[in-house]
Structure 1
Amino acid sequence: MSEALSSQKSESDVLVVHGGTPLSGALRVRGAKNLVSKAMVAALLGDSPSRLFDVPRIRDVEVVRGLLELHGVRVADGEDGELIFDPANVESANVDEINVHAGSSRIPILLCGPLLHRLGHAFIPDLGGCHIGPRPIDFHLQSLRQFGAQIEKTPQGLALTAPDGLRGTKLELPYPSVGATEQVLLTAVLAEGVTELRNAAVEPEIIDLICVLQKMGAIINVHTSRVIEIEGVPRLKGYVHRPVPDRIEAASWAAAALATGGEVNVIGAEQAAMTTFLNTFRSVGGDFEITDTRPPHDGRPGVEGGIRFWHPGGELKAVALETGVHPGFMTDWQQPLVVALTQARGLSIVHETVYEQRLGYTAALNAMGATIQTYRNCLGNTPCRFGRRNFHHSAVIAGPSKLHAADLVIPDLRAGFSHLIAALAAEGTSRVYGVELINRGYEDFEAKLAALGASVERP
């Protein structure tokens, strides 16, 4: 192992993976990471307590909980993943305490609208998150200014005030960004007047956030052609909500089953939000079976639905796919699936159109024996916004390739899980460094691996 690799990750943050064993068994996914943290922020807007069920035990939830508690929100644990939020005593937080969370999450930017409504001011520390591209907050700040916020740069971050309150406005996104859409929704619901957002994101988690806000008393209309209209209301109450299941985690385990030649039953996964992934999974040569949830009836116990994924045997087939905003193929699905594509016969093509630096993880796969070439050209059906900007955002995967063990350093959350899948599929023993990053979005992933028969251990 190189000195550079040793310096990046310590022995306390490593998972030893003995590869070559097909995963087999069942696991359960909870509420979507991309909804749960935003619903937690939404609790700030209510004047009565909120209850959120099926909350996963992941690092991002801990970060948001810490930020809410710093601002006076009382957060209590209920049974089996329930969180209860009491925002009765929202208060200003100490800048130094907020900065403890700097680099841990990009969620603080989404607290700005709710805090401006509740307190008249807010503070944003330096933002972290996965290093998969610049992910600028320019539109967040621009939209907050259009709502009436004043923003001052300080040595610690950005200080926001709203001396005249927040007012509805008309905005149009240059790209249907999920984060920017969430920002507008969380700010507009209590702003005076009507807000119109064009070119909005309409992912299932966005629609679920709209459901949360509607339960609180918001008036939000989702029109055709990605137009969302929000009519500001004077007050919001708390909510009671069970979030949509995590379609990213479900797809990650599906890809792991395919790459290792195994079978994984993902309890809680739902078909509707995963239809694009399921079509691609079947095109590659994987198979799946969907079980619908059945309530108790005539004394018989109920059944929680899910999706069982498996490798049916035979060769996998190469595919061409292009990531995109919903209802396209989700960018967070491509990294785990690419590991399975290294085992498919022929040339698979991936065109990444959401994050310009999301293919960097393929270098580690090549070091394990994969044959993946990245390109600056758009190899999809249509040119994208990265095509003329010198980013390696397309890849050609030649397979099947025999993967062998290696020492791996996790660069970001989704790439990290892909590295883990590759280690599980490879022959030999790999050491995966930086596994704490995986805890940001995958609940109890080590326990789930053990339940699926994986041979993994801490050194």
Structure 2
Amino acid sequence: MNDKAGAPEDVLIVHGGAPLEGEVTVRGAKNLVSKAMVAALLGTTPSTLKSVPKIRDVEVVTGLLRVHGVEVDLDGDTLHMDPTRVELAGTEEINVHAGSSRIPILFCGPLLHRLGKAFIPDLGGCNIGGRPIDFHIEALRHFGAQVDKSAEGMHLSAPERLKGIQYELDYPSVGATEQILLTAVLAEGTTELRNAAIEPEIMDLIAILQQMGAIIQVHTNRVIEIVGVDELHGYSHRAIPDRIEAASWASAALATRGDVFVKGAKQADMMTFLNVYRSIGGEFTIDDTPDTGGIRFWHPGGELKPVALETDVHPGLMTDWQQPIVVALTQANGLSIMHETVYESRFGYTRELRQMGANIELYSQCLGGTPCRWGRRNFQHSAVIAGPTKLYGADVQIPDLRAGFSHLIAALAAEGTSRIYGVDRFITRGYEDFEAKLSGLGANVERP
């Protein structure tokens, strides 16, 4: 069913044209918090996670933990999790709470260690390109898990203790790295993972696991070595701030010619983005005051400058930064290039931007500095953005989480009124209180 017809209340009306000005706060990173919650399953004592955002992904994992017997209590932005009575959940319960989330795949290692069994329902997620779970299943089989497929999903079992493995990823996938970390820490023997992801969220997850009693070494050349231990205990940890949300507000400030202080944003995790931001013509200053610090982002006036960029795994330009940056580049004077090397189908959102007046052309060739794995495969993974172009309000259907916030940025920068469909389905998955934050920055938004 068409979302516009099926959920008329899931829409935000945006009256554009006003610069965003003021302060917003970012809490723990969506891409870390949900994984840290799963890690609590590995402990024999309670865990505490601080700076937890009120987003749908947290609600999903909370539901999944509870059906597996974990006591979960949220006190402000602090989450308390007690896994001492872990139990096997029914497939129906897992399906109800999982929805379209891909998180259940990461429950497998911890549940196999704690209970000897796990279940994976059919998985969903944002439609931005292939994110197969094959390597998750392959890795779990290497550890010694048995996998039985059924119409409802996959049932996994571990007749005996899982054993450490030597494993090399074809691509430094964040999800696959998380899977191996969460499984290897209690496996018998040593696991060596080559070509691992080393994103800040991965490093924060490793810090949590180390605090729980794990032995993990991060070597050069993307090699992670995990020595399995017999038991892990709980942790108390403050999640790193969400660098994706911080970059989204920064891009919104640039696109609307505004001035936004992002409280909680950290320079160390955003070095590459900050370089790009300054290259385009945006300005920022760092406030490293404990508890109250952050980064101020603003448009200094004058023309924005075109750039040639390509996404990559960390420490390259994060793929989740690509979409908000492209919106800002529609206001730069000249031709900009964005070469997407992480996901093959991440430019679907540009159709709506063109509908709003943006001049964006897509190409299947690698227009970045180096050929990537999507070259010669007919994926439109490069974009040329010509600017500056005036944006106009339009009715927009959100295709995925990050594209949704980018459409929102475009609507804020546009002349006239836009109706953004799918905000509850997508944007609330990763952005806490985004409507209140928009209003606090002076945006003119309303529900029908």
TM-score tier, shorter chain, comes to: over 0.9
Counterpart in the other structure of 2:402: 414
Check the 8 A contact 1:259/1:425 in 2, yes or no: yes
Check the 8 A contact 1:109/1:124 in 2, yes or no: yes
Counterpart in the other structure of 2:136: 140
Establish whether residue 260 from structure 1 lines up as the match of residue 256 from structure 2.
Answer: yes
Displacement of 1:122: 0.1
Check the 8 A contact 1:250/1:269 in 2, yes or no: yes
Aligned match for 2:62, one of 65, 83, 107: 65
Check the 8 A contact 2:4/2:421 in 1, yes or no: no
Counterpart in the other structure of 1:243: 239
Alignment partners' CA distance in 2, 1:190 and 1:52? 21
Q: Which runs of structure 2 are paired with 1:303-322 in the superposition (5 Å)?
A: 304-322=292-310
Counterpart residue identity of residue 115, structure 1: L
Displacement of 1:103: 3.7
Partner of 1:12, secondary structure, is: coil
Runs ≥4 in structure 1, deviation > 3 angstroms? 3-6
Check the 8 A contact 2:339/2:381 in 1, yes or no: yes
Alignment partners' CA distance in 1, 2:95 and 2:230? 31
Aligned match for 1:446, one of 427, 435, 438: 435
**1:353-375 CA deviation, whole Å, 9 max, x = no partner?**
00100001001000100100000
Alignment partners' CA distance in 2, 1:86 and 1:5? 38
User: Compared with structure 1, are the counterparts of its residues 320 and 209 closer, same or farther at alpha carbon in structure 2 (3 Å cutoff)?
Assistant: same
Q: Which runs of structure 2 are paired with 1:206-245 in the superposition (5 Å)?
A: 206-245=202-241
Aligned match for 1:384, one of 369, 372, 379: 372
**1:19-60 CA deviation, whole Å, 9 max, x = no partner?**
000000001000000000000000000000000000000000
Counterpart in the other structure of 1:363: 351
Aligned match for 1:112, one of 108, 112, 118: 108
Partner of 1:317, secondary structure, is: coil
Aligned match for 1:402, one of 390, 394, 401: 390
Counterpart residue identity of residue 426, structure 1: A
Aligned match for 1:24, one of 4, 7, 21: 21
Counterpart residue identity of residue 39, structure 2: A
CA RMSD of aligned residues (A): 1.0
Partner of 1:374, secondary structure, is: strand
**1:402-430 CA deviation, whole Å, 9 max, x = no partner?**
00010000000000000000000000000
Partner of 1:101, secondary structure, is: helix
Establish whether residue 290 from structure 1 lines up as the match of residue 278 from structure 2.
Answer: no
Alignment partners' CA distance in 2, 1:455 and 1:86? 42
Counterpart residue identity of residue 396, structure 2: L
Structure 1 gap ranges (5+): 295-302
Aligned match for 1:53, one of 50, 55, 67: 50
**1:132-158 CA deviation, whole Å, 9 max, x = no partner?**
012001110000000000000011100
Alignment partners' CA distance in 2, 1:61 and 1:108? 13
Check the 8 A contact 2:312/2:319 in 1, yes or no: yes
Displacement of 1:4: 5.4
Displacement of 1:104: 2.7
Counterpart residue identity of residue 62, structure 1: E
Check the 8 A contact 1:168/1:192 in 2, yes or no: yes
Counterpart in the other structure of 2:170: 174
Check the 8 A contact 2:38/2:61 in 1, yes or no: yes
Alignment partners' CA distance in 2, 1:186 and 1:4? 38
Establish whether residue 91 from structure 1 lines up as the match of residue 67 from structure 2.
Answer: no
**1:343-391 CA deviation, whole Å, 9 max, x = no partner?**
0000000000001000010010001001000000000111000002110
Check the 8 A contact 1:323/1:330 in 2, yes or no: yes
Displacement of 1:305: 1.1
Establish whether residue 375 from structure 1 lines up as the match of residue 363 from structure 2.
Answer: yes
Counterpart in the other structure of 1:299: none
Alignment partners' CA distance in 1, 2:233 and 2:391? 54
Check the 8 A contact 1:15/1:456 in 2, yes or no: yes
Displacement of 1:101: 3.2
User: Compared with structure 1, are the counterparts of its residues 155 and 4 closer, same or farther at alpha carbon in structure 2 (3 Å cutoff)?
Assistant: closer
Alignment partners' CA distance in 1, 2:198 and 2:79? 26
**1:315-365 CA deviation, whole Å, 9 max, x = no partner?**
000001100000000000010111010000000000000010000100100
Alignment partners' CA distance in 1, 2:52 and 2:89? 25
**1:255-307 CA deviation, whole Å, 9 max, x = no partner?**
0000000010000000001000000000000000100124xxxxxxxx51100
**1:154-213 CA deviation, whole Å, 9 max, x = no partner?**
111000001122000000000000000000000000000000000000000000000000
Check the 8 A contact 2:60/2:98 in 1, yes or no: no
Structure 2 gap ranges (5+): none
Alignment partners' CA distance in 2, 1:222 and 1:368? 46
Counterpart residue identity of residue 439, structure 2: A
Q: Which runs of structure 2 are paired with 1:30-41 in the superposition (5 Å)?
A: 30-41=27-38
Alignment partners' CA distance in 2, 1:199 and 1:77? 36
User: Compared with structure 1, are the counterparts of its residues 432 and 112 closer, same or farther at alpha carbon in structure 2 (3 Å cutoff)?
Assistant: same
Check the 8 A contact 1:43/1:87 in 2, yes or no: yes
Check the 8 A contact 1:29/1:268 in 2, yes or no: yes
Check the 8 A contact 2:64/2:98 in 1, yes or no: no
Alignment partners' CA distance in 1, 2:416 and 2:339? 31
Q: TM-score, normalised by structure 2?
A: 0.99
Aligned match for 1:76, one of 36, 48, 73: 73
Alignment partners' CA distance in 1, 2:416 and 2:7? 21
Q: TM-score, normalised by structure 1?
A: 0.96
User: Compared with structure 1, are the counterparts of its residues 44 and 313 closer, same or farther at alpha carbon in structure 2 (3 Å cutoff)?
Assistant: same
Displacement of 1:10: 2.2
Displacement of 1:102: 4.3
Counterpart residue identity of residue 101, structure 2: S
Alignment partners' CA distance in 1, 2:7 and 2:357? 25
Partner of 2:197, secondary structure, is: coil
